[in-house]
């Protein structure tokens, strides 16, 4: 509808422009054609140009309209009210500050500067209002959704590494993750790129992530895929940080570097690796544990085994017990960036 309307308007203006051009020069005397033929030619030419430009403009306007409609559809009523208030404040500030600009000569400079001032300050009014909506919600509780839970958990955004890792699904099933889990479109695009990769490892990880999302989509309605993008940011991690900041959401990830960058910028982060490490049972020196020595260690007489949670246990004097299940006594525990490592020795040695 927008395309047809823009084509009609611009084709009409093109025809009128063709008539104006025809009247500006004596084309009959210049080219020798009858006046009626000149009028027809210029009207057709103006309509054609207007029709083509109208199609281009209409498609762009349609794309912009659909984006605005989708974006406002995702916004709550309180966010929409707050954005409108921010826009009005920005326009009022622009009206006041553009007073000196309107007196500038020539007039086209004054008009251009005034319009630019209104656009920029109106945009920043909306941006500032949305960035500070949590603060406004605390100052004005009535801006919140009256039927919403006042202590409801914020939305959580899943990054590519967390989807491929897959442990978030178990946390969701067991109820340890509350709030809506959201997957932006550019994360889904990155998963598809990985799934189409020529590298076998990347292709397997990408397909695992897509399969998991497809499975979860059938059993859990709390996972929402939505369109969002920041074309000016080429890096997916930077887009995730910007999106989380704009939405006031938390990030779910297993990427240590992304988690640290997000925390520096004041964004809430749920690192599944940190959660898994925190939930591992702690073993104190002097505690007795039973373990199967799986293989030889790097040092002489060392054996290596693993607890049920994957924690590595280095057994001194355990090389002779490889393949056997023995009782060991914990001597020390070392916490590293990769996880916890337990050192032990066989009981009685």
Tokens encoding 72: 């406002």
Q: pLDDT tens digit string along 171-205? A: 888 878 776 788 888 998 899 999 998 888 889 99
Tell me the C-alpha distance between 115 and 215, whole Å.
50
Least confident of 6-10, 123-127, 138-142, 174-178: 138-142
- Average confidence (pLDDT) over 116-128: 86
Q: What is the residue extent of each domain of the chain?
A: 1-74, 78-152, 157-278, 281-346
Higher-confidence residue of 140 and 248: namely 248
For 252-261, the pLDDT digits (tens) are 999 989 999 9
**Structure pTM?**
0.48
Residue 173 to residue 32: CA distance in whole angstroms: 83
Q: What angle do CA 292, 294, 298 make, to 5 degrees?
A: 125
| pLDDT single digits (tens) 63-80 | 887 777 776 666 667 777
Match 């178990």 to its residue by tokens: 170
Amino acid 145: pLDDT = 46
Contact 322, 293 (CB under 8 A): yes
Radius of gyration of the chain (CA): 32
Q: Is a pLDDT exceeding 50 seen at residue 152?
A: no
Position 28 scores a pLDDT of 59
Q: What share of the chain is helix, strand, coil (3-state, %, to 5)?
A: 60, 15, 25
Instruction: Find residue 341's DSSP bridge partners.
Output: 312, 334
Averaged confidence pLDDT in the chain = 81
Separation of alpha carbons 90 and 20, rounded Å? 40
Q: Please tell me the predicted confidence (pLDDT) of residue 303.
A: 92
> What's the confidence (pLDDT) of residue 148?
42
- Model confidence pLDDT, tens digit, residues 2-48: 788 888 888 888 888 877 776 666 655 666 667 777 777 878 888 88
| pLDDT tens, residue by residue, 293-319 | 999 888 888 999 998 777 889 999 888
Q: CATH says 157-278 is which class?
A: alpha beta
Q: CA-CA distance, 82 to 78, in Å (whole number)?
A: 6
State the architecture of 281-346 in CATH terms.
Beta Barrel (2.40)
């Amino acid at each position: 509808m927008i395309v047809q309307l823009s084509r009609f308007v611009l084709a009409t203006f093109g025809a009128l422009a063709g008539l104006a051009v025809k009247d500006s020069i004596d084309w009959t005397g210049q080219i020798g054609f009858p006046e009626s033929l000149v009028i027809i030619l210029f009207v057709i030419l103006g309509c054609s140009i207007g029709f083509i430009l109208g199609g281009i403009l209409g498609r762009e306007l349609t794309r912009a309209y659909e984006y605005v409609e989708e974006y406002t559809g995702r916004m709550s009523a309180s966010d929409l009210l707050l954005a409108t208030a921010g826009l009005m404040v920005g326009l009022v500030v622009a009206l006041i500050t553009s007073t000196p600009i309107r007196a500038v000569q020539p007039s086209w400079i004054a008009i251009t500067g005034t319009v630019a001032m209104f656009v920029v300050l109106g945009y920043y009014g909306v941006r500032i209002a949305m960035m500070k909506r949590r603060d406004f919600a605390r100052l004005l509780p009535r801006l919140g959704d009256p039927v919403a839970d006042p202590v409801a958990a914020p939305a959580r955004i899943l990054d590519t590494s967390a989807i491929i890792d897959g442990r978030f699904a178990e946390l969701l099933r067991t109820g340890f993750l509350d709030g809506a889990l959201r997957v932006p479109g550019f994360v889904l695009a990155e998963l598809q790129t990985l799934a189409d990769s020529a590298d076998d490892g990347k292709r397997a990880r990408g397909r695992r992530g897509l399969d998991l999302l497809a499975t979860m989509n059938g059993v859990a309605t709390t996972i929402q895929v939505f369109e969002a993008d920041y074309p000016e940011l080429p890096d997916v991690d930077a887009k995730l940080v910007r999106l989380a900041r704009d939405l006031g959401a938390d990030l779910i990830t297993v990427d240590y570097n992304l988690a640290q960058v997000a925390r520096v910028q004041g964004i809430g982060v749920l690192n599944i690796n940190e959660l898994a490490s925190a939930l591992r049972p702690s073993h104190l020196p002097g505690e007795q544990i039973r373990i199967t020595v799986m293989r030889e260690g790097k040092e002489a007489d060392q054996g290596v085994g693993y607890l049920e949670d994957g924690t590595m246990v280095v057994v001194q004097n355990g090389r002779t017990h490889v393949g056997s299940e023995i009782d060991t006594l914990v001597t020390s525990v070392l916490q590293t960036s990769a996880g916890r490592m337990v050192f032990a020795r066989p009981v009685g040695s």
